[in-house]
Amino acid sequence: MTTPMVIEYLRASAPERAYAINDGLVNGWGLKVLDGVLEMEAERAVSDYPRLEIGDI
């Protein structure tokens, strides 16, 4: 999924909480961009979109 596809999905489904997973191929800079976009969307949707780190379950 591309970031715009993630945003479209989040806006359409409007979950209270969503978790970003399967981002192991994204480097550090990409993760910062992704986290920033998800934070903006979470604020817009008054929701919570945390990203799980490896081993966070």
pLDDT digit of tens for each residue in the chain (57 aa)? Answer: 787 888 898 899 988 888 877 666 677 888 888 888 888 888 988 888 887 777 877
Q: Which residues contact 52 (CB under 8 A, 6 or more apart)?
A: 19, 20, 21
DSSP state of 16: S
Residues 6+ apart with CB under 8 A from 45: 10, 11, 14
**For the chain, how big is the Rg over CA atoms in Å?**
11
Q: What is the pTM of this model?
A: 0.54
